[in-house]
Amino acid sequence: MKTKTNLAILASGNGSNFEAIIKAVKKGYLSIGKCILITDKKDAYVRERAKKYKIKEIFVDPASFKNKKEYEKKLVEIHDKEKIDLIALAGYMKILSPFFVKYFKNKILNIHPSLLPSFSGKDAIENAYNYGCKITGVTVHFVSNAVDSGPIIMQKTVSIEEGMQLDELENKIHKTEHKLYPKAIRLFLKNKLKIEGRRVKII
């Protein structure tokens, strides 16, 4: 009988959040049975991080499929074969279809570098910075059909000090992400999250 959760991390780029999650697993903070990486980018640096930590990584090229539905069917096939219980998006740059979201209902988490619903979508850090915000932050949420709109699990504010440069803010945001995401995943693993409408209750 399986007692630990199997985790798939989907990423498209650098993979710093992937590494933060894996470090939390290695330290025993996250009780994970199996962890795999799935990426849609052949040259994504996150693949190097996976090799470093000896994590199974699978590259699935979207260009090899005739359409998005066929591509996502392949992802489902992999997840089922690996007996995945939880999916964590970590800089995964593809929008998941309603088919995929429904198949893994309430089992997909995402991290976004703003205080949602403000500055959803791409370039959230830069957009908040250019808008002149005094405070921005990080959000971990369940994934729903609309982009960056699922029920919010956790949020953490990040202040934008006078004279702060964009790269300094980006660094501050990423450090916050690396702390917050493992905390949210840990709550899921411990069955501490209960979705009530748009709200996520931590029990």
Number of domains in the chain: 2
Task: Note whether 91 and 144 are same-domain residues.
Answer: no
Share the mean pLDDT of the chain.
96
Query: In the predicted model, is pLDDT for residue 1 greater than 60?
Result: no
Task: Note whether 95 and 137 are same-domain residues.
Answer: no
46 burial (CB, 10 Å; 0-12 / 13-18 / 19+) is: buried
The last residue of one of the domains, among 61, 80, 105, is 105
Give the full edge-to-edge strand order of the sheet including 108-112: 56-59, 32-39, 5-11, 86-89, 108-112, 135-142, 152-159, 199-202, 193-196
Locate 34 and state its tokens: 């199996």
The whole model's pTM is what?
Answer: 0.95
Give 56-112 pLDDT, tens digit per residue.
999 999 999 999 999 999 999 999 999 999 999 999 999 999 999 999 999 999 999
Asked whether 128 and 112 are in contact (CB, 8 A), the reply is no
The last residue of one of the domains, among 105, 129, 155, is 105
Residues of the domain holding 191:
110-203
The last residue of one of the domains, among 60, 78, 105, is 105
Asked whether 92 and 40 are in contact (CB, 8 A), the reply is yes
What is the reported pLDDT for 2?
Answer: 55
Active site residue 178: no
Given 79, 112, 141, 178, the catalytic residue? 112
Stretch 164-184: mean pLDDT, rounded? 98
